[in-house]
Structure formats: structure tokens, C-alpha cells
Amino acid sequence: MNRTRVRQALEAESGMDHMTLCGWVRTKRDAKGFSFLELNDGSCLKNIQVIIDEGIPGFETLPDINTGASVKVEGSLVESPGKGQKWEVRAQSIELIGFADPETFPLQKKRHSDEFLRTIAHLRPRTNKYGAITRIRSELSYAIHTYFRDKDFFYIHSPVITGSDCEGAGEMFTVSGFDFDNIPMQEGKVDFSQDFFGKRASLTVSGQLSAENMATALGDVYTFGPTFRAENSNTPRHAAEFWMLEPEMAFADLNDDMDLGEECTKYLINHVREHCRDDLEIFGRFVDKSLFATLDNIVDNDFVRLPYGEAIEILKKAKAKFEYPVEFGLDLQTEHERYLTEKHFKKPVAVYDYPKEIKAFYMRLNDDNRTVAAVDILVPRIGELIGGSQREERLDVLDMRIKELGLNMDEYWWYRDLRHFGTVPHAGFGMGFERLLMLITGVSNIRDVISFPRTVNHLEF
Amino acid sequence: MNRTRVRQALEAESGMDHMTLCGWVRTKRDAKGFSFLELNDGSCLKNIQVIIDEGIPGFETLPDINTGASVKVEGSLVESPGKGQKWEVRAQSIELIGFADPETFPLQKKRHSDEFLRTIAHLRPRTNKYGAITRIRSELSYAIHTYFRDKDFFYIHSPVITGSDCEGAGEMFTVSGFDFDNIPMQEGKVDFSQDFFGKRASLTVSGQLSAENMATALGDVYTFGPTFRAENSNTPRHAAEFWMLEPEMAFADLNDDMDLGEECTKYLINHVREHCRDDLEIFGRFVDKSLFATLDNIVDNDFVRLPYGEAIEILKKAKAKFEYPVEFGLDLQTEHERYLTEKHFKKPVAVYDYPKEIKAFYMRLNDDNRTVAAVDILVPRIGELIGGSQREERLDVLDMRIKELGLNMDEYWWYRDLRHFGTVPHAGFGMGFERLLMLITGVSNIRDVISFPRTVNHLEF
């Protein structure tokens, strides 16, 4: 159907004699001889005001046109005498497409709690807030692609179904083609050799190993796709399915990695601020009053670069009371990360060179033999936004680490091969896409930046 | 590391006194007093020629610099006296970064079979063909995002883990958080109520239902992400994991859907032809001599729009011998589809209005009560590229279809709700991303357009 989007109408340079608008009614007000409709079609945050004069075709259906109903309006775009809007529509006809019973339609004009809206995740994108999040999510994804393409990175699709376990830890979901009424057993154990892939399969926790592989052929690459954790943690920060951005650069070290993380974060925030002004505005007004100050702080400051050892010293001297102990060799908890970035430095901090004992096998061993070239980038309000490292490109050192950690050497045959044939220094990081969205919108629960969140005991929609 | 990409060097406007290049050696030739290296860094198909004069720093390592080795070259970019190349590099120094043993490195300069290269999927992106496919895949993804964003579609991420089964059929993988050594049972059956999500979970076969949902709030949306089939079919066209593009439009009918499918297909082909000339060239030369004629045919012709009933008539009259029967009420097989598009019309064909018995429950019932507003877009060499439909937006008709097909009404409560509150006509389609890649490159096996393909009994890398 040849329809004008509300966004196009609101941004029009001049009036239009005739246009077709379709959308959903947000509110209706009746006056003497005419009615006002506020119409929204999802193309932008704002509604357009439609004047329905008594007697136009379809006017008689107006009693059935209530909040939530879908309508088609033919009319002209004219200057609005009202405040805060340049244009309004004077309807020539109106047609009710889909009725919404005012007795049962849940999104009447009042504020609903986030908790309630999660139970109607299929309807919440019709609200201002969730419509805005969805549009921002879309634009932020686009910004990722333009940023990396402009820098000559190639987008690769790392597989979701995997036979290996990138982190050498992590709770993974099993993927199976079995008929569960009839699982083949062998000596009292499930016989995965008879499963679809001939062995046990899982959902990936990271596309990193694939990205490393492709970087050693294409140079600079990135993945952007869903990743999974079967962690039984019911927190506002954890979901079983979430998207991750994972760039990987060949011929790069930890400094290049930190440079990329900083530049990329700033670019993405700037892009959304520029392209999603209206949508972002409501988060600054209704969700987090300090939102724009937080974003300014990130964009305007050079990120601090702080060795882990110095971070520990700062935390030890801190007057703050921490729940978890601070000691060289222990991982930083969110409370420590937030102290560093929010209280001590008051800006983003890249903490690097972590003790090898608390990091993964693939991170490059530093010359001190006790730390690895890992970096976590911490930002206010979120804590860790980015986790990355230079990867171990020396086969002998990699093998030593695989053995130390008791991993299965055979499973990594192809990963080791990359070090066997023309190995190169390379580095990359992972950025949780939802964390970035939470940072940019100020939304504090991951369930509210994913359209249909998957968490423990929640698999609706 | 501040390095110049090979692509940048080859496209340079003028020479450079000093630059750093990193990459992998494709070939080495020794001459009197100097050597030639062909260097590739994955940024483009072409290599750059590097002249290594006797005596420059690192020259003594040249015996160890063989095909597959990674090197760092400092040098100047100068005009090349050689044929077919504008620029070459005169090295000021060379450094061996990563050795590749010529005795064991599998990618020596000779042609390898696709079958062999699949067994070294971690190394094949270092070949011309697979490097090119990876770059084309990246650029094609980007084209999808620019096309839909320019048309005001929003990108949504439909969940991979699902509790429902979109097609009402289809073999799905089960996703489980169970400890498989200890699966909880209840009356002899697996007790999924004790699983991570409190019920049985699967990998999605389509993001359509989510896309429909978001379209009824945002207007026009699309998904682009991984989808899954646990089909035990070992063919060149099937993979267990593949990417799908699924646009969905509100206030749209089947004609809008066909318009979008045709325009989108042409746009994507044109984009790749324009932006991936070199990479595409090798497929036209070495993989399918008729490739560019096929692509021209698609781009230059209006797609035929043919009711299914007429398609059946044409096929019945055809002189061709078909393996599968042709009868109104039976689905078209690939041989029929290819006959229509390759032999009869010799251009793309959109076949629409299929008998309801062979299509899914959500497709809109036509007034004849026996067909539904479904469309398959068929293209030469591939057959079905796009499958779409106008969706049933009338709750009473939808309910009737759900009952007819014996589906579980309760599972679709939220999907039905979309028809209950402000329902709108809407339409969309799915396009297999790998099929499109196969069409554009002429590659005939899906395993060769996915970096790490997942098929029956194959889960390596």
C-alpha cells in the first residue's frame, strides 16, 4: 500500500493535498463537530494529530475507533495551529481496519510498570518507551556495520552450533536432534555419537575462535550475532540469549585493541545521539536524568589505561566498603569496576595485564610470565563493557597453557594450526550488545532492551 | 600496528616513500640479486608484488619465507614496470613473523578440490576463492542493511531459542540445559518442566512470528540471522544452520510482498556486482561461465507473476519429463520450479496463490476458500529463492485454520492477540541468505558459501 510514514509527514518541507496514513490510535478526543486522533505508525516516536470532521466518510465508525485500533486515513497535510507540532492531518476519510476493545486492550493511556509490560512483550513495542528501544537497537546495529565497514573490517557469521567451548569454561546449552522419548544410551550414558552431528553439540558462548580464524586470512573481521549462556542467574544483567559484537584484528597488539575499543564505543554512542534524538530524549527524561551527562563523559574523555596491578593498589587504598575481597590474583567484581570508573577516575578505564590464573587460555602471556595481555574496559553505570585480549600466537606457549589448564589438545587442532602456519600477532574483544544498549538508554534491566528475552524459566513469545 | 592494507596500496593515487605492509606470502620467486614476493593480506583478492633486494635487513631470512608465511615489509610504493599491475613495493626491510613449513603447509600453489578444502575449512579462506566468498558474504550482508534502512525498515533480532514451532512442522533441534548424565524423568518421559526454561526449548526455524509481531508495532521490519533445521538430508542445498533474511510489512498485501521481493533481489545483486567486481570475477571465470548472464537476466527482467493454477497448466503441457507428478494440490518440486524459470519463461517467476493444503496455517485465505495468498519467487539455477505470503490478519479465519491443522491454540495466544487488538493486513517473506550467495557466485554447494558449515555428522571447527 502506498502510504506516507508519520515520520515523513512530520518532517515534510511543505503541505500535501492528499496522502494516505496508516497506523494505530494512541488517543482520541471528541470536540463539537469534530474529533482529534493521535496516530502512531511506529516509524518514529511522535504521533501525528488527525482532525476528523463530522460527516466525512467513515465518521460514523468513530465510536469504534479507540486506543489501540488500526486505521487508514486519507487527508491533507496542513500546518497545525497547535503548539509543539508543525503539521497535522485534516482527514478526508477514515477507515477502521482493526478494532481494539477498550475493555480489554491493556495499553490504555496510563503508565505501566516494566514488570507488567514484560508479560505482554508482544504489545509493549506499541508503547513510546519500547518502540524507542526497538528503533535505537536497530540503528545501533546499523552503526556497528557502518563503523567496521568503513574501517575495512569484514563481517563474518560465526556458527551458533559448536562442538567446542571457547572459554574453556562457561555453562553451555546442549543442542540435540534426538527423539527425547527414545535417547540412545551406551553403558548407562547418553550416546551422542548417534546424535545429529555424531557428537555432542552446544550453543556457542562466543564467536571469538572463528573470528580469530578468519582474521588470520582476511586481516580485520568482526562477528555480530547471538551468543548463549546456560547460567542459572536471575539478575537484571543476565539473559540466556544475547547479542555480542566481536572484532578481531590481525597484526595487532593490546594497544591496538584498546584503541579500537575506545574509538568504537565513542563512535557508536555518537551515532545514536545523532540519529535517534527523539527516541533517546525520553530515556533522558523518564528513565535516567543523568543519562546525557554519562554519555558525554564517555565521549569527551580519553579512557584511562591502568595496569591491573595498579587497579588493585587503588582499590586497596579506597575508603569504600566492598563486599568482595581485593587482592592481586583475584578477579575484579562489578563493585570494584564501578568504583574505579565512577568514583576514582570518574571516566572510562581500561584495566589491562591481568594475572593469568583468572583469564582464559588463549590470552597472550606477558614477559613477566604471571600476567596476560587482557583488557577490560569499564564504564560508569555498567562496569565491564568490553573484554578483550591479545591472543597467544606462539604455538609453544599456547600448548603450554592448554596443558596447564587441562584442556583437550585434540579439540583445538585447527586453532593450533593457525599458529603452525604463518602465525600472526592478533587481538580482539567482545562487547555485549545489550550492555551497550543499557548504557546508551539508561535502562537497568536486560529484559527491557531485548524484544523477547530468554531467561531462567522464561521462554514465552 | 599502523599498516597499509594491500587494497589501499593497489588503489593508491600516487606512490609512497614509506609504508608498512603485513600479510601472507602467496608465492616467492628468486632472481639474480633479488626476489619477488606475492603478498596477500585478505583485504582484497589481488596480491601486491614485493621486490626484495639482496642485502636489505631481513634478506637473510628469505630461505624461511615460503608460501603461507606471514611477513612484515617496510618499503616504498613505486610504479611497476610489470604488466597488469600499477604499483609494486620495493622493500626496505623484511621481517618473518610466522613460518610455514613448505613440507606440511597444505595450500601450495596448485588447485585443490572443494571437497579437500572443506576438510581444512580453517585454512581455505587463505585461498582466492574462499577469501572472495567471505568478502562477498560480508558485503552482501551490508547491502541488506543499507537497502532496508533506506526504506525505513527496522532491524529486529528475533530469538534463536524458541518455545514454539513457526511452520507447524519442520524438524527442530532441542535446546537443553540438562546435565545429560542425569536427565530428570517423569512417568518414563523426559521431564522438561525441570529444564532451564521450564519447558521444552528448540532452535528457531524462522523469525517470522517475531517479525510479524514487531511489524504490528513498528510498521516495517526485517530479521537477518541464523535459523536451523534438524533435517537429516545430505544434499548440496541443505545445512543445519543457515542465515535467513525475513522482512515483514504492516499495511501490505501480496502484491506489495512481490514488489519488495523483486526490488530487493535486484538491489542486492547490483550492489555486489558494483562493490565486489574483482572477487566476483573469479566466479564468472572459474566456477560458472554463465554467471554474469544469469545475473543480468534477473536484474534486467520484470519478474513474471503467475498464479499457481496456471503454473500447473504450463507444467502439464510441458514436454519435459519430471520425476515428480504435476497436479493441482501438489507442491512444486525443484525440477518444476527450474523448468518454469529456466525453460519456459527464461526469467524469474513469482508463483502465487497456492492451494491451502500445502501451505502453512498463517497464510491468508483467499476468497476462493481453496488457495492462500502465498508466493514463491523462482530464479534460474536455484529454483525457490524467496517464499512469502500475506498473513492471515482475521482472527476468526486464523482460528479456523489453527483448528483445521490440529495446532495448539494456547501456544499461539500472543500471536492471536495481534489480531485481537488493532489487527492490520501484513505480508513478508523469507530469503535464504546462502541460496542468494550461491546464486550470486555460482557456487553449487552450500558448504562452500558458509565458513564453517554444520551438516549431518559434521561439526568441526
pLDDT value of residue A153: 98
pLDDT value of residue B418: 98
Q: Distance between CA atoms of A295 and A253, rounded to whole angstroms?
A: 28
Class of the CATH domain delimited by A124-448: alpha beta
The verdict on a CB contact (< 8 Å) between B421 and A68 is yes
pLDDT value of residue A84: 82
Q: Which of B138, B157, B393 sits opposite A154 (nearest CB)?
A: B138
Q: What is the pTM of this model?
A: 0.97
Q: What is the mean pLDDT of each run of 10 residues along chain B (461 residues)?
A: 94 96 96 96 98 96 97 97 91 98 90 95 97 98 98 97 69 94 92 96 95 98 97 92 98 98 98 98 97 98 98 96 96 96 97 96 97 98 96 98 91 96 98 98 98 96 92
Q: What is the DSSP letter of B251?
A: S
pLDDT value of residue A83: 84
- Contact (Cβ atoms closer than 8 angstroms) between residue B153 and residue B426: no
β partners of residue B379: B383
**What residues of B are in contact with residue A187 (Cβ under 8 Å)?**
none
The verdict on a CB contact (< 8 Å) between A422 and B100 is yes
Q: Which of B122, B198, B218 sits opposite A418 (nearest CB)?
A: B122
Q: Distance between CA atoms of B10 and B47, rounded to whole angstroms?
A: 9
- How close B126 gets to chain A, by Cα (Å)? 5
Closest CA to B267 of B225, B295, B306: B295
CATH assignment, B6-106: 2.40.50.140
Instruction: Classify strands B185-186 and B174-176 as parallel, antiparallel or unpaired.
Output: unpaired
pLDDT value of residue B108: 83
Q: What is the mean pLDDT of each run of 10 residues along chain A (461 residues)?
A: 94 96 96 96 98 96 97 97 91 98 90 95 97 98 98 97 69 94 92 96 95 98 97 92 98 98 98 98 97 98 98 96 96 96 97 96 97 98 96 98 91 96 98 98 98 96 92
Residue B54 identity (one-letter amino acid): E
B431-444 in b/e form (b: 16+ CB < 10 A) is bbbbbbbbbbbbbe
Q: Distance between CA atoms of A213 and A415, rounded to whole angstroms?
A: 7
- How close B342 gets to chain A, by Cα (Å)? 31
- Contact (Cβ atoms closer than 8 angstroms) between residue A363 and residue A391: yes
B234-248 in b/e form (b: 16+ CB < 10 A) is eeebbbbbbbbbbbb
How large is the ipTM? 0.97
Q: Distance between CA atoms of B46 and B128, rounded to whole angstroms?
A: 8
The verdict on a CB contact (< 8 Å) between B42 and A217 is yes
- Contact (Cβ atoms closer than 8 angstroms) between residue A441 and residue A290: no
The verdict on a CB contact (< 8 Å) between A422 and B24 is yes
For residue A126, the chain B residue with the least C-alpha distance is B217
Q: Distance between CA atoms of B100 and B69, rounded to whole angstroms?
A: 5
pLDDT value of residue B206: 94
Closest CA to B431 of B223, B167, B241, B147: B223
Q: Which helix (H) or strand (E) holds B362?
A: none
Helix axes of A433-441 and A254-275: crossing angle, nearest 10 degrees? 50
Backbone φ, ψ for residue B336 (5° rounding): -70, -45
Cα A119 versus chain centre, distance: 21
Q: What is the DSSP letter of B100?
A: -
Closest CA to A408 of A183, A165, A50, A119: A165
Q: Any alpha helices (H) in B56-127, and if so which ranges?
A: 114-119
Please calculate the CA angle B352-B356-B361 and round it to the nearest 5 degrees.
110
User: In this complex, how many residue pairs, one in chain A and one in chain B, have their CB atoms less than 8 Å apart?
Assistant: 331
Residue B442 identity (one-letter amino acid): G
**What residues of A are in contact with residue B452 (Cβ under 8 Å)?**
158-159, 210
Q: Which helix (H) or strand (E) holds B242?
A: strand B241-250
Q: Distance between CA atoms of B173 and B150, rounded to whole angstroms?
A: 35
For residue A420, the chain B residue with the least C-alpha distance is B100
For residue B26, the chain A residue with the least C-alpha distance is A422
Q: Which residues contact B111 (CB under 8 A, 6 or more apart)?
A: none
β partners of residue A162: A202
For residue B43, the chain A residue with the least C-alpha distance is A218
The verdict on a CB contact (< 8 Å) between A196 and B240 is yes
Please calculate the CA angle B372-B376-B380 and round it to the nearest 5 degrees.
160
Choose from B130, B173, B178, B238 for mutation: most chain A CBs within 10 A.
B173
- How close B1 gets to chain A, by Cα (Å)? 5
Domain ranges within chain A, ordered by starting residue? 6-106, 124-448
Do domains B6-106 and B124-448 share one topology? The answer is no
Instruction: Classify strands A87-98 and A174-176 as parallel, antiparallel or unpaired.
Output: unpaired
- How close A315 gets to chain B, by Cα (Å)? 33
pLDDT value of residue B164: 79
For residue B162, the chain A residue with the least C-alpha distance is A459
**What residues of B are in contact with residue A232 (Cβ under 8 Å)?**
177, 196
Backbone φ, ψ for residue A433 (5° rounding): -65, -40
B78 burial type by CB count under 10 A (0-12 exposed, 13-18 middle, 19+ buried): middle
Q: Which helix (H) or strand (E) holds B227?
A: strand B220-228
